Amino acid sequence: MLSYSASQLFDLTTVVKASEAIQSEINIENLPCRVLNIIVENAGAKKGCLILKKNKACFVEAIVETIEHSENNNQIAKSIPVAECFNIPQEVINYVINFRESLTIPNAIDSIYNQDIYIKQHKCKSIVCIPINFKTKFIGIIYLENKLETNAFTPFKLEIIKILVSQVGIAIRNARLFASEEEKSRILKFRSEIDSTLAKSNNLQQMLQKCTEIIVSYLDVAFARIWTHNPQEKLLHLQSSAGMYTHIDGAHSRIPVGKFKIGLIAQERKPHITNSVQTDERVNNKQWAIREGMIGFAGYPLIADSEVVGVVAMFSKQQLNQNTLNTLSFIAEEIAVAIKHKIIEKALQHKEEQYRSIFETVNDGLSIFDLETGKSIAVNPTWCQMYGYSNEEFISLEASDYIHPDFLHLFDNFIGSVKAGKEFYFQGVCIHKNGKLFDVEVKGTSYIYSGKSHALTIARDISQRKQTEKVLKQRTQELEQALVKLQSTQSQLIQTEKISQLGQLVAGVAHEVNNPVGFISGNLSHAEEYVKDLTCLLNSYRQEFPSPGDAIEEQIEAVDLEYLLEDLPKMISSMKLGTDRIKNIMLSLRNYSRTSSDEKKAVNLHEGINTTLMILSHRLKAKPQRPEIQIVKKYGDLPLVECYYGQINQVFMNLISNAIDALEESNQNKSYEQVNQNPNIITITTAADDNWAIIIIADNGTGIPPQVKSKLFDAFFTTKVEGKGTGLGLSISYQIVTEKHGGSLECISSPGNGAKFVIRIPV
């Protein structure tokens, strides 16, 4: 059981109070010095340093050092990289950063770190350096030292320090969350004020001046300015300035596009951002930047509808963080839209009289809508003719009186878009006064009418065009269907021609091969008889002349006469088997490739299947990445079947080839051993059922998903990579079986259970 002295109990009470004090601080700016003072005071340290990890790097956030004979501590609160701080022992700090483990040094000047520049210079004694973690995540370091005493940090003190450091981790996490929420709230309020200014201001210059003032106030920058672009003069005119400078005259009031940092932003249509103003090559007056302490600059082109309408820029005496830049980027887009909106308003104001004349005479229907009430306040004669109402009648109508209910929601979208300064376009259905429905094409945009923003709408009756499009679409579909059918027919003709040519080729090759094979086969029979005669003669010589002499004995031994006499008949027999095999193969190929396109013949389907397997044998053999594909034949008693033999063989070829493809696809990402444990098998089953011959070709691959299975027999549908499949094999096979032979071709499959193709051909 642990026991504590009275002084230790007093220290623990103090630690509890210190922990509470640490947790009470949620201001991220005040927190470093506050918590460091508390830890230094409770740890008996003379100096402390708080290092925090930010953006994957470590920064010194605060240094506190007690001053003798003074009630106050000397404290520094400045965020600088660890490598640039020379008021701490770099070797000790880097060890803890790299290994994320505590380091306690009873006497630094006698330790392995005694060569550290800081330790040598300040003759440090007791040092403790502890990582700060929050839920196993490293967030910083607490460094403490005592230059006066060795072993100043006793085990009990270390326990106190560790408790306080754990509280610091929680406090830092809480303070950062609080700061993040504060930042979000501040940004939301900032954007709200900008949006309110853009929405309510009627005067462009006043609007932009208010925006720059809000930017300076909320983003805490030195000054901000906004220029507008005059494309005719290719100049940027300064419209507003807030912060250190409020004047809009002088050298920066008119900037040519492409000149200086502001003109280059407009020309390049890209932002320019830097936190090194004093060395930035685009800043001409670097002496001014140094004198005024400028650090950050951000300038954004104001682009609306792909048009540069101006530039917004600001200088800061502190580094610009990413949140600030993201916010300014977003605000730049909104200001650009507002400037474009004001430009459009001004142009509309100048041409309102001209538009009135056009309004009355244009062939399209024109109407002006009040954005607040949603009612039309003026329509032209074409509009009245289109809807069948007089000007007075239409003005009194609600949108629901002349817009089809299915499209009524678009009217609200139209009003909202125009209010936001955006153009709006849609096609819908409207209702004539007589109840007839007609198609319209509508475009709406903002329009200044009587000094107030309205919506100018252009409408066109497109009923005739829609009807024409419908007819064209129908004819296009018919042509597409005809094209697909034509392509399918063409592909079948090509396939048929290929089979025909293959038959002719194989027949020719078989004829050419059979001639020399027949010659060899015939001569082998004579050669076999000659060998027998010579063997008998040789044996007779050996009986009559058992001692033929040394020279002949040496020659008999050299040619190994006994083995020669034994092996030569076997060799002749093997050659005869080979020639017979060649004859059988040629016969099978010739039979397989007969197209018989003009008439059906009674054939043995097993022969066609066997020949197909022989042709595909090279694909079935074992390969380095997989064992051989096993063929299981379950042949039943099939009668001779009347069919187009070449076409049926083509079906067998397509289905067995597809089965091989499916198995090879299922082998992907599997090792040789894995495939060998569950071998690839193609099972071919035949049977006769009433008046049908049934052939089933099944594989044990991955199976076919339902969405693919429903399209299997569609022309040009394929799941294979480009260049490996045409999408015609199964389609043509289906047509051969069903249309040419009056049979059926069915696929039975589900994911994980392989695929089974069932062919039924009438007998």
> What would the two tokens of residue 661 be?
């493809």
Q: Under DSSP, is residue 749 helix (H, G, I), strand (E, B) or coil?
A: strand
Q: Report whether 699 contacts 620 (CB < 8 A).
A: no
pLDDT at res. 4: 45
Do 173 and 133 touch, CB atoms closer than 8 A?
Answer: no
Spell out the SS3 assignment of 435-460.
CCEEEEEEEEEEEEECCEEEEEEEEE
Q: Which token pair is 383?
A: 């509009």
Cβ–Cβ under 8 Å, residues 682 and 660: yes
Question: What parts of the chain have a pLDDT lower than 70?
Answer: 1-28, 68-77, 178-187, 348-361, 487-512, 514, 580-581, 583-598, 715-728
Selection from 354, 383, 356 nearest residue 367 by Cα: 383
Q: Are 254 and 236 in contact (CB under 8 A)?
A: yes
Q: Where are the beta strands (DSSP E) in 553-691?
A: 601-603, 630-634, 641-643, 681-689
Q: Which residue has the tokens 């005071």?
A: 41
Q: How does pLDDT run across 642-667, given as a tens digit for each residue?
A: 988 878 888 888 899 889 988 988 88
Residue 74 CA to residue 599 CA, distance in Å, equals: 110
Residue 28: the pLDDT is 64
Q: Are 299 and 262 in contact (CB under 8 A)?
A: yes
Backbone angles phi, psi at 612, to 5 degrees: -60, -45
The candidate with the shortest Cα–Cα distance to 227, out of 175, 188, 266, 281, is 266
Per-position b or e across 589-627, b if 16+ CB within 10 A of its CB? bbbbbbbbeeeeeebebeebbbbbbebbeeebeeeeebb
Q: Can you read off the two tokens belonging to residue 41? A: 């005071």
The burial class, CB within 10 Å (0-12 / 13-18 / 19+), for 113 is buried
Say if residues 280 and 274 touch (Cβ distance below 8 Å). yes
* Strand order through the sheet with 630-634: 630-634, 681-689, 692-699, 755-762, 744-749
DSSP secondary structure letters along 632-662: EEE------EEE-HHHHHHHHHHHHHHHHHH
What phi and psi, each to the nearest 5 degrees, are found at residue 598?
A: -90, -20
Q: Cβ(36)–Cβ(78) under 8 Å?
A: no
Please give the pLDDT value at position 720: 61
How far does CA 300 lie from the centroid of its chain? 29
